[in-house]
Chain A
Amino acid sequence: MFSSPRELLDGTEKLSSVSVVHERLNEAIFSQRTTVGQITSIIMQDAGLTARLLRIVNSAYFGFPRKIDTISRAVMVVGTQQLHDLTIATSIVKLFQRIPERFVSMGSFWKHSVACGLAARVIAGLNRESNVERFFVGGILHDVGRLIMYDKIPEMMDEAFSHVMNHPAPMFIAEQEIIGFDHAAVGAALIEAWHLPGSLEEIVRYHHTPQSANRYQREASVVHIADVIAHAMQCGSSGELNVPPFDEDAWTLLGINPGSLPQIVDLVDRQLEGVLKMFHSNES
């Protein structure tokens, strides 16, 4: 029996590599002294990462009119913070390539996650947020806790699933009742353990209950809405049987124009395939 989400994480040795890169980058970016060159060299130490990043910045996802040949150019154009976020996204996705597909296929899972990420990015763009990549990352990672739970406690997840079949409710409620904590908490614990930015942690923790967030209520609200949109669009599945409850206050807080919905859905539709390929490509 696990009494806290943190306990689930123990033993995940895969943690370290992600955190190392991240911490180095973080420090480098944060430091006023660090030049673009230094950041570039940190990234380039990871060839796979380098390749993935270059692919992303040259894709329609980014829409940059010029070809970006080098990481240093990418750093300049994309922005260091944004590039950092993309790094996190790709690393984590790569981390969870193979998980037992009892509850959900990986393809389906990442499809839903990427759709959510794209929707969140578009919404953030409409609201003129300065770092839209942060939202993309948040969107991609919001259900990552589920993967860990599927891996570590599959029987309890079974129980939760059956419960939901007979008493219609969102999975996270059932998880809380049966297991004692939900996938949002687990995902947040992982983010925390990796020392990733606080906004990501709150996004993941409160993506079903954005009103409970502290400093990053806006971010949590954006991903919450993006999650609902992704479910409504039926882009893949994360193991949720029903569309999760929608918090109207989140909508009001962001002041999104309902007329923007068609635009959001359209952009997600167009970019989904391309982005999935980039993040999910099988190499190594």
Chain B
Amino acid sequence: MIEENVNTIPSVEALMERVRFLEETNQWMLESFEAVSAIDDQRSSPHSRWDKNSIYGAARAHLRRLVGFEAMAFFRPDETNNEFILEEADPAGERESIINEVNQLIDEGLFGWALHQNRPIPIPSRNDTRVFVLHGLETRRNVIGMFVGIAPSSESIPNKLALNLMSIVLFKTAVGLEQLELYERISNQNRILEQKVEERTKELMNAKDIALRASRLKSEFVANMSHELRTPLSGIIGISELLIESQLGQETRRYATMIRNSGDTLLAIINDILDFSKIEAGKLTIERISFNLVQVIAEVVAILEGKADAKGLRIKCEYALGDLPNYYGDPLRVRQVIMNLVGNAIKFTNHGFITVRAAIEEHGAEQPVVKISVMDTGIGIEEEVQANLFQSFTQGDGSTTRKYGGTGLGLAISKQLVELMGGMIGVQSYAGKGSTFWFTLPLPSRAQGQESKSLPVNKKEVSRSGFTAHENSPFDHSRGVKESESFNNEIRALVAEDNQVNQEVSRGMLTQIGFQVTVVPDGLRAVQENNRSPFDIIFMDCQMPVMDGYEATRQIRQSEGPGRRAIIIAVTAHAFPGDRESCIQAGMDDYIAKPFKQAELRNIITRWTTHLHDNRENTRDDKQTSLLPSTRIEQIIDRERIEEIKSIKSHSHPSLLGRVVQHFQRDFPLKIASMREGTEHRDAFQVRKAAHALRGSSAQVGAIVVAKVCEQIELLAIKESVEGTGRLIDVLEDAFKQAVEQLVTLVPKEELQ
């Protein structure tokens, strides 16, 4: 037992000593704490490097201040085998001896034991007087490593305070190393991610290129398909039409009709499919031109009336469009949709009637729309079926396809078209009670309407006299459609077409119309033939071997002079709207889509041959195209004038008309001679005098053409010019001959001597 007098009062010296001691300790503590808390500041400075070496360096600096170690080392565990490796030793010369000692400690198990003590463990060396102070470097999560500090002897082991501060420094060091590692790992991850992103992007770009290429191939395929499918089909339809028109027995004619009908049906299906695939590929564009909605509806009704009649159905039309003059949109597509709806109505109605209604609807603040509805008294549609109606490839239920025919694409296409035009489509129906299919189209303001500057698209144009669907196209069709069926067979037509059957079709149709037809199999031959002897009208297939239609047209246009211009009609499978631009750019005037019917061919020819007639006249005498009057040929003699003269019956002049005519006849050559003389001698006055006189006398007799020509000669002469007079005199003589021919028939025989 300890025996001690606890009541001893310490001496003043002892107390003073204690005070001094406490003050020193206090001072030391303040300095140490300050130093230790400053560790983080060093590390977070942006000017200092942040890596392992700087962390170790900072740790060493602090530790040296706290404890007078003669050497310090940091051990880190190897990731693969968890063995501790000396990472840093200071001074470097001590590395060997430190490693030796530590290996011994590891063998003994002391190293492992010390690692988790979380405090400095001084271990005297077996080999000499030095003391190895071990301290684990640990964070909450990880064992970062081991610090080894070497003190020269046991006496130099620091006291408890210093040792505790040492723990703080080493803990912070461990945390700092952990942070550094995590940061490096994150940076690495980022780098790897960036690399991956780059690789992925490259892959995606490649994939995109491949996809684009595939898409392009697909489009080209569709375009080719369009051509490949339509070409033989146009052969089938065309030849069958020729057959029907030719001399056939009743039975053969029936067969030919069936072939043509099948061809028509097949064409309709192909068009549906191609339309559908175009819509799917996003390649369908909607036009914006002005057209008459009522007319479009009327057309459709007219086309389908026959089918309706055959089933005993009536079609009624109702309009409530106010004073809507024209609608701006795509007449082709609108017609397509109405055709589809009315066609379906007829298909699925067995008795009663079909009502087509077009009305403007306004619902308050919303934009007004045009609503077109097709109501029928047909079989109706069940509610469950209605949901799927507008999806592709369904037609109510599968059995209806077999019973009623059709691809089932119609409504799907109609829906797409309506939506592309900015409208909505829908149905109201009750099974057994009929259906109402409707669609709306937005009413754009006038300002939005743009005129289409492209060629007119007439796949299914109806030949109704007086009807023109495209009023503002660049080609002037104001002359309207001529009713006459036969054309001047002076018109020379060239057909450039590589398919033999189609050659036959075109040759047959055009010959029937009355043209002189030449056929060539490719564009090069077309150019060559036209160069040899220019044609009036050329039907140019767009796709041909050796040289296609576009290139041939370009070359032909280049070789043409200012006056002469052949009419070039493109014959195209019309796959894409881009075709139009190509045709225009190449220099074509119009186009017709194959397969075409005779009626369509006639229409387009009629449209252009009135041009031709004028051209013919105008180019007979090149230089006077502008000067000739554009009067009708029939009006060579003014009948009224003749009647007037006839009515002047006087005693002194019983046969006035005869005398007037005779005078005219005799006078004429004299005047002609005078004019010619004047022209030779460049005597404008002489020419003028003669022309003026002749004008009067020909007007007297009602020879209008003669009078007009004289007037022109007179006008020239007034300008003191005799240029071109010679020609005019030739014309005059021709006109005179014609006038006399007519006059002779008009004057009663007894009045002529």
Measured CB to CB, the residues of A under 8 A from B are 16-17, 20-21, 29-37, 45-46, 63-66, 72-73, 76-77, 79-81, 125, 128-131
Query: A205 CA to B538 CA in the complex, in Å?
Result: 117
Instruction: Tell me the nearest residue of chain B to A128, going by C-beta.
Output: B118
In the complex, which residues of chain B have a beta carbon less than 8 angstroms from the beta carbon of A65?
108-110, 113
What's the nearest-Cβ distance from chain A to residue B395, in Å? Answer: 66
Q: Are B121 and A77 in contact (CB under 8 A)?
A: yes
**Chain B 154-184 interface residues, beta-carbon cutoff 8 Å to A:** 154-155, 157, 159-164, 167
Identify B123's interface contact among A31, A46, A77, A79, CB under 8 A.
Answer: A77
What's the nearest-Cβ distance from chain A to residue B377, in Å? Answer: 79
Q: Are A76 and B154 in contact (CB under 8 A)?
A: yes
In the complex, which residues of chain B have a beta carbon less than 8 angstroms from the beta carbon of A37?
155
The 9 closest A-B pairs by CB, nearest first: A65-B109, A76-B122, A32-B159, A130-B118, A130-B119, A65-B110, A65-B108, A128-B118, A20-B4
Q: Are A32 and B157 in contact (CB under 8 A)?
A: no
Identify A76's interface contact among B140, B157, B162, CB under 8 A.
Answer: B157
In the complex, which residues of chain B have a beta carbon less than 8 angstroms from the beta carbon of A30?
160
What's the nearest-Cβ distance from chain B to residue A41, in Å? Answer: 13
10 contacts between A and B (CB under 8 A): A20-B4, A32-B28, A36-B155, A63-B113, A65-B108, A66-B110, A76-B157, A77-B121, A125-B116, A130-B118
Q: Mark B81-116, 1 if CB is under 8 A from A, else 0.
A: 000000000000000000000000000111001001
In the complex, which residues of chain A have a beta carbon less than 8 angstroms from the beta carbon of B155?
35-37
In the complex, which residues of chain A have a beta carbon less than 8 angstroms from the beta carbon of B164?
130
Query: A80 CA to B158 CA in the complex, in Å?
Result: 11
B404 contacts the other chain (CB 8 A): no
Q: Mark B332-369, 1 if CB is under 8 A from A, else 0.
A: 00000000000000000000000000000000000000
Query: A79 CA to B116 CA in the complex, in Å?
Result: 14
Query: A73 CA to B122 CA in the complex, in Å?
Result: 9
Instruction: Tell me the nearest residue of chain A to B131, going by C-beta.
Output: A76
B2 contacts the other chain (CB 8 A): yes
Q: Are A81 and B160 in contact (CB under 8 A)?
A: yes
Identify B25's interface contact among A16, A31, A73, A131, CB under 8 A.
Answer: A31
Q: Are A77 and B160 in contact (CB under 8 A)?
A: no
Identify A130's interface contact among B2, B21, B28, B167, CB under 8 A.
Answer: B167
What's the nearest-Cβ distance from chain A to residue B233, in Å? Answer: 80
B6 contacts the other chain (CB 8 A): yes
In the complex, which residues of chain B have a beta carbon less than 8 angstroms from the beta carbon of A79?
119, 121, 163
Q: Are B160 and A29 in contact (CB under 8 A)?
A: yes
Query: A76 CA to B113 CA in the complex, in Å?
Result: 14
B1 contacts the other chain (CB 8 A): yes
Q: Are B124 and A17 in contact (CB under 8 A)?
A: no
In the complex, which residues of chain A have a beta carbon less than 8 angstroms from the beta carbon of B140?
128
In the complex, which residues of chain A have a beta carbon less than 8 angstroms from the beta carbon of B25?
31-32
Identify A64's interface contact among B113, B154, B157, CB under 8 A.
Answer: B113
Q: Are A21 and B2 in contact (CB under 8 A)?
A: yes
In the complex, which residues of chain B have a beta carbon less than 8 angstroms from the beta carbon of A66?
108, 110
Query: A98 CA to B515 CA in the complex, in Å?
Result: 142
Q: Are A20 and B108 in contact (CB under 8 A)?
A: no
In the complex, which residues of chain A have a beta carbon less than 8 angstroms from the beta carbon of B110?
64-66
In the complex, which residues of chain A have a beta carbon less than 8 angstroms from the beta carbon of B124?
73, 76
17 more CB-based (< 8 A) A-B contacts, given A20-B6, A76-B123: A31-B21, A31-B159, A32-B21, A32-B162, A36-B155, A37-B155, A46-B2, A65-B110, A76-B122, A76-B124, A76-B157, A79-B121, A81-B160, A125-B116, A128-B118, A129-B118, A130-B118
Instruction: Tell me the nearest residue of chain A to B163, going by C-beta.
Output: A79
In the complex, which residues of chain B have a beta carbon less than 8 angstroms from the beta carbon of A128?
118, 138, 140
B643 contacts the other chain (CB 8 A): no
Query: A130 CA to B24 CA in the complex, in Å?
Result: 26
Query: A35 CA to B21 CA in the complex, in Å?
Result: 15
What's the nearest-Cβ distance from chain B to residue A132, in Å? Answer: 9
In the complex, which residues of chain B have a beta carbon less than 8 angstroms from the beta carbon of A32?
21, 24-25, 28, 159, 161-162
In the complex, which residues of chain B have a beta carbon less than 8 angstroms from the beta carbon of A129?
118
Instruction: Tell me the nearest residue of chain B to A284, going by C-beta.
Output: B1
What's the nearest-Cβ distance from chain A to residue B30, in Å? Answer: 13
Query: A135 CA to B161 CA in the complex, in Å?
Result: 20
Known interface pairs A31-B25, A31-B159, A130-B119. Does A16 touch B6 (Cβ–Cβ under 8 Å)? Answer: yes
Measured CB to CB, the residues of B under 8 A from A are 1-2, 4, 6, 21, 24-25, 28, 108-110, 113, 116, 118-119, 121-124, 131, 138, 140, 154-155, 157, 159-164, 167
In the complex, which residues of chain B have a beta carbon less than 8 angstroms from the beta carbon of A20?
2, 4, 6
Q: Are A36 and B2 in contact (CB under 8 A)?
A: no
Instruction: Tell me the nearest residue of chain B to A32, going by C-beta.
Output: B159
Query: A30 CA to B118 CA in the complex, in Å?
Result: 20
In the complex, which residues of chain A have a beta carbon less than 8 angstroms from the beta carbon of B167?
130
Query: A64 CA to B122 CA in the complex, in Å?
Result: 13
What's the nearest-Cβ distance from chain B to residue A66, in Å? Answer: 6
In the complex, which residues of chain B have a beta carbon less than 8 angstroms from the beta carbon of A46?
2
What's the nearest-Cβ distance from chain B to residue A58, in Å? Answer: 13
What's the nearest-Cβ distance from chain B to residue A143, in Å? Answer: 26
What's the nearest-Cβ distance from chain B to residue A70, in Å? Answer: 11
What's the nearest-Cβ distance from chain A to residue B494, in Å? Answer: 96
Query: A29 CA to B157 CA in the complex, in Å?
Result: 13
Query: A181 CA to B115 CA in the complex, in Å?
Result: 44
Residue among A16, A31, A63 having the largest count of chain B Cβ atoms under 10 Å: A31
Known interface pairs A65-B113, A77-B123. Does A36 touch B118 (Cβ–Cβ under 8 Å)? Answer: no
In the complex, which residues of chain A have a beta carbon less than 8 angstroms from the beta carbon of B108?
65-66
What's the nearest-Cβ distance from chain A to residue B187, in Å? Answer: 29
In the complex, which residues of chain A have a beta carbon less than 8 angstroms from the beta carbon of B123?
76-77
What's the nearest-Cβ distance from chain B to residue A121, in Å? Answer: 13
In the complex, which residues of chain B have a beta carbon less than 8 angstroms from the beta carbon of A35?
155
Instruction: Tell me the nearest residue of chain B to A129, going by C-beta.
Output: B118
What's the nearest-Cβ distance from chain B to residue A263, in Å? Answer: 14
Residue among B138, B154, B163 having the largest count of chain A Cβ atoms under 10 Å: B154
What's the nearest-Cβ distance from chain B to residue A8, in Å? Answer: 21
In the complex, which residues of chain A have a beta carbon less than 8 angstroms from the beta carbon of B131?
76
Q: Are B2 and A80 in contact (CB under 8 A)?
A: no
What's the nearest-Cβ distance from chain B to residue A6, in Å? Answer: 19
Query: A258 CA to B427 CA in the complex, in Å?
Result: 67
In the complex, which residues of chain B have a beta carbon less than 8 angstroms from the beta carbon of A80?
160
In the complex, which residues of chain A have a beta carbon less than 8 angstroms from the beta carbon of B119?
79, 130-131
Instruction: Tell me the nearest residue of chain B to A63, going by C-beta.
Output: B113
What's the nearest-Cβ distance from chain B to residue A224, in Å? Answer: 22
Query: A79 CA to B124 CA in the complex, in Å?
Result: 14
What's the nearest-Cβ distance from chain A to residue B24, in Å? Answer: 7
Q: Are A17 and B2 in contact (CB under 8 A)?
A: yes
What's the nearest-Cβ distance from chain A to residue B171, in Å? Answer: 9
What's the nearest-Cβ distance from chain A to residue B513, in Å? Answer: 99
What's the nearest-Cβ distance from chain A to residue B660, in Å? Answer: 135
What's the nearest-Cβ distance from chain A to residue B158, in Å? Answer: 8
What's the nearest-Cβ distance from chain A to residue B119, in Å? Answer: 5
Known interface pairs A35-B155, A65-B110. Does A17 touch B1 (Cβ–Cβ under 8 Å)? Answer: yes
Query: A20 CA to B2 CA in the complex, in Å?
Result: 8
In the complex, which residues of chain A have a beta carbon less than 8 angstroms from the beta carbon of B118?
128-130
What's the nearest-Cβ distance from chain B to residue A38, in Å? Answer: 11
Query: A40 CA to B121 CA in the complex, in Å?
Result: 17
Instruction: Tell me the nearest residue of chain A to B119, going by C-beta.
Output: A130
In the complex, which residues of chain B have a beta carbon less than 8 angstroms from the beta carbon of A36?
154-155, 157
Instruction: Tell me the nearest residue of chain A to B109, going by C-beta.
Output: A65
Query: A147 CA to B155 CA in the complex, in Å?
Result: 42
Residue among B6, B25, B140, B159 having the largest count of chain A Cβ atoms under 10 Å: B159
In the complex, which residues of chain B have a beta carbon less than 8 angstroms from the beta carbon of A33?
21, 159
Query: A33 CA to B23 CA in the complex, in Å?
Result: 13
Query: A16 CA to B5 CA in the complex, in Å?
Result: 10
Query: A128 CA to B118 CA in the complex, in Å?
Result: 7
Known interface pairs A31-B21, A63-B113, A65-B110. Does A77 touch B122 (Cβ–Cβ under 8 Å)? Answer: yes
What's the nearest-Cβ distance from chain B to residue A182, in Å? Answer: 30
Query: A152 CA to B741 CA in the complex, in Å?
Result: 166
What's the nearest-Cβ distance from chain B to residue A201, in Å? Answer: 20
Query: A85 CA to B124 CA in the complex, in Å?
Result: 23
What's the nearest-Cβ distance from chain B to residue A284, in Å? Answer: 9
